[in-house]
Amino acid sequence: MSDFESDTMDEDDFDYSQEDEEQDFVFEPVIPEKDIKRSYDVEYKCYSPSDIEKIQNEEISHVCNILGCTKENASTLLRHFKWNKERLIESYMENEDAVKKEAGVIMDVKEPKLITVPGFSCDICCNDQDNLLTFALSCDHRFCADCYEHYLTDKIKEGESRYITCAENCNLIVDEKAIQLLVKPEIYQKYKILLLRAFVDDHKSLHWCPYPNCENAVKCLITKAQLDTIVPTVECSSGHRFCFGCGLKDHQPAICDVVKRWLKKCADDSETSNWIAANTKECVKCFSMIEKNGGCNHMTCRKCKHEFCWICLGPWADHGTSWYNCSRYEEKESVDARDAQTKSRQALERYLHYYNRYANHDQSAKLDKQLYEATEKKMEVMQKSSDFSWIQVQFLKSAVDVLLKSRATLMWTYALAYYLARNSNATALFEDNQRDLEMAVEALSGLLETQITPENAAELRQTVLDKTEYVNRRRQILLSDTAAGHLEKRWEYSF
C-alpha cells in the first residue's frame, strides 16, 4: 500500500454526524441595497391620506374612552392641544372646566338639528318668515340655516377648519356633525381635507411631501435642535426625496442653515447679475463661442478641436487621475490684501469659484435629465443590436439615476465648501472626497453619451456597470464622512 493510500479513509469510515455538529453553517439574509441603513440616513415612515385618517381616528377614539365624551368633542379638544394627548389629559384632569372653556367645548349629548321657532327673526338677514329653519349650538345663539350655511362655507373656503366658532363669535366651536348638517356635500369634503391637513401641520414629527400634487406625508423624529448636525433626507412613497427639516429638495451633505444662507446669497443680484445669464464660453485657443449641450464637462471645440474643461477652461489632458484640482479653490496671497477693494475682489472671486461649480452641476443635472428621457430609446437600440434582454439593459437607467443623485450631492458640496473654514485636515479630506466623486461623475457622464454599436455593446455595458458602482460608492463615502463630521462637530464655518 502506498503512502497516499494509507492516509485515505473509505466513505463508510467518515463520521458525517460529527462533522455536521462541528460545522453549523448560518447564512446571513441578503439585504437589498435600498434597505441598508447608512450613517447619513435617518429613520422615517411614509403615510398615505387614508393612513393619516386612520391614525387621527385612533387618537380621537382613545381620548373618547378616557374622557367619556363624544368623538366631536374629543377631536375639538385634541385640535386645541395640537394633538398632544398627554398634555390634554393631564390638563383636563387638573381643571376640567377651564380646559373646556378655553377649547370652546360644552360636554352635552345634544344632537345638532334644524328646527323652526315660532316668531323667530334672524339677526343676520332679518328673515322672520314662518316655518324658517334655524340652527344654534349649545350656546343658543340662533340664526337661520341659510345664514349659518353661508357663514360656514365662507370660513371653509378661506381654508379654516380647526377653530370655526359660533356665528355670534362666541368661543364655542362648531363641530364636525354640525358642519355636515349645514353645508353642501362638496364643502363638507373640503372641510374634511382641511382637517386632515391641519392634523399633519399640528404634528411636529409629521410633514407633507412638498412636491406638487403629492398627498403623502412622512413621519420623522428629528427636532430643530438636531438640524445643526443632521441632514434629514426622507423619501415619500411616490419616490420624492426632500429634507424633512426645511422642506427643500434633498441637499445632502449641507445642513439646513448652510443651505438657507447659500440660497440667500445666490439670490443677491449684485454678485451674480454680470454672469449668471451667460450660457456660452469662448474657446481658449481660437476664441469661438461654444454652447454646452450635454452634462459632461469635457469640451471639444468644433473649429480648432481643442479639448478643455468647461469649468476651469484648462486643458482636458490635465484632468486625469494624477491631477484634478478643478473642484478646489486655491487661496491667493496678495501684497495688497489690506486694501478694501482688493479684499472685496478676492471675496467675489472666491464666491464665483464655488457658485460656478454649484450652478454647473445644477445645469448638468438638467441636461442629464434630457439624457434620461432618451435612455429608454437607447435601451431599445441596445436590446435590438445585441443579445441582451430588456432586464439586462436596465443598467442604463440605473446609471442615470446614480448620476443625477451624485450631481445633486456635488452641487451642495460646493455650497458647504464655501462656508467651511479651511483650517484642518478634515477640510482637505472633504475636498479630496469631493474631487474623487467629481472625477467619477464626469467619467460616467461621458460613458453615457457614448454611441452604442453591436461591436461595443457588451464591453460598454460592463464598463458602465463598473463605473456606476464606483460612482455610487464614492458618493456614499463622501456622505458618510461628512455626516460623521457634522455629528462630531468637526466642521468649522466662516459665516
413 and 478 Cβ atoms separated by less than 8 Å? yes
Phi, psi angle pair for 249, to nearest 5° = -60, 160
Residue 254 CB neighbour total at 10 angstroms: 25
Q: Which three cell numbers stand for residue 262?
A: 447659500
279 and 292 Cβ atoms separated by less than 8 Å? yes
**Which of 263, 258, 205 lies closest to 486 in space, CA to CA?**
258
Q: Which three cell numbers stand for residue 464?
A: 458602465
Peptide bond into 112 cis (omega under 30): no
- Which residue out of 209, 296, 309, 326 is catalytically annotated? 296
Could you tell me the strand order of the sheet in which 206-208 lies?
45-47, 217-219, 206-208
CA-based torsion, 72, 73, 79, 82: positive or negative: negative
Q: Which three cell numbers stand for residue 297?
A: 464637462
Residue 300 CB neighbour total at 10 angstroms: 12
478 and 226 Cβ atoms separated by less than 8 Å? no
Q: Which three cell numbers stand for residue 284?
A: 481658449
What is the per-residue burial (b if ≥16 Cβ within 10 Å, else e) of 363-372?
bbbebbeebb
Q: Is 125 a catalytic residue?
A: no
What would the DSSP string read from start to end of 11-28? GGGS-HHHHHHH----PP
H helix or E strand, kind and range, residue 471: helix 457-487
Peptide bond into 253 cis (omega under 30): yes
- Length, in residues, of the chain: 495
CA separation for the pair 129, 121 (Å, rounded): 8
Residues belonging to the active site? 296
